[in-house]
Amino acid sequence: MTLNSVLITGASSGMGRALACALARPGRRLWLGGRNAQRLEATARHCADRGAHVTTTLGDVTDRRAMNDWVRGTERLDLVLACAGVTGGTHLPRPGLDPYEPAAQVHRIVETDLGGVLNTVLPALDVMRGQPRGADGVRGRICAISSVAGLVSFPGTPAYSAAKAAVDRFMVATGGNTRRAGILLSSVVCGFVNTPMVARNSFPMPGLSDVDTACRRILRGLARDERRIVFPRWLVLGSRMMDLLPIRVAETYYTRQPSGAPGTMPETDLT
């Protein structure tokens, strides 16, 4: 893979940070985005110490105009990693009442996890269409992080499941259209990864991967031109099987899972 110029959203934390650090090397240009200045600078320093030429941009992925300017302002993009995302589950106002997901949270998750990916991917596609193919025939690669949550209608995380499902479908379907032009799109359908996002979950997380393993799996998938990068496989397969069941049956199972219980995930950051 030719990777002279790489843009990463969500580079201030978790998987985005780990991918930036793994990709940092002498001569490589890294365009790193995030909202938290201190954490983004920490990633940038680490990458610069490894010899990468780093440019940081503070901003919100939901700001379509700013994202457009940032992505189009790069000289060439060999790889774009859309990692920025937020999560959140349902709440239980009082025992005995039905669980619900606050409207502000639903909007925040959809705007960030789906809108933010589109705000990254769409200008990146334009940039890549205008650049020549590399020696391997590839103009560029774009990868967005979906989730196993997007494979199921999980009552504990309705907005997150919906946004991640849409990201996966968009990336895989669009990738079919851009492939012949040498623009390769991938969706990462992963289970739990040990990052700050899940650090305050108060339930067991089956198949939890450490962030470096997740990062290696993503980079290996990209090197193999995988359209959908999945891990752990057993969880992805199990989730697909669950989705074939009648809704009532699947729902009964989901609502008995500790991860499906309202109030077990921290509140979504609505700032």
Ligand X SMILES: NC(=O)c1ccc[n+]([C@@H]2O[C@H](COP(=O)([O-])OP(=O)(O)OC[C@H]3O[C@@H](n4cnc5c(N)ncnc54)[C@H](OP(=O)(O)O)[C@@H]3O)[C@@H](O)[C@H]2O)c1
Interface contacts to ligand X, rule CB under 6 A:
9-10, 12-16, 34-36, 39-40, 60-62, 83-87, 112-113, 116, 145, 147, 190, 192-193, 195-198
Minimum CB distance to ligand X, residue 103 (Å)? 17
CB-wise, 21 or 138, nearer to ligand X?
Answer: 21
The separation between CA 242 and the C-alpha centre of its own chain, rounded to angstroms, equals 23
Decide if 23 contacts 30 (C-beta within 8 A).
Answer: yes
Angle between helix 14-23 and helix 37-49 axes, rounded to 10 deg: 20
CB-wise, 7 or 40, nearer to ligand X?
Answer: 40
CB-wise, 243 or 252, nearer to ligand X?
Answer: 243
Minimum CB distance to ligand X, residue 31 (Å)? 14
* CA dist list (Å): 234 to 15, 175, 231, 267: 21, 25, 8, 29
Backbone CA torsion sign across 163, 85, 173, 215: negative
Rounded-to-integer distance, Cα 74 and Cα 94, Å: 50
Minimum CB distance to ligand X, residue 151 (Å)? 11
CB-wise, 138 or 151, nearer to ligand X?
Answer: 151
Decide if 123 contacts 72 (C-beta within 8 A).
Answer: yes
Which tokens go with 209? 């991967």
Decide if 34 contacts 58 (C-beta within 8 A).
Answer: yes
Minimum CB distance to ligand X, residue 192 (Å)? 4
Minimum CB distance to ligand X, residue 213 (Å)? 12
CB-wise, 63 or 181, nearer to ligand X?
Answer: 63
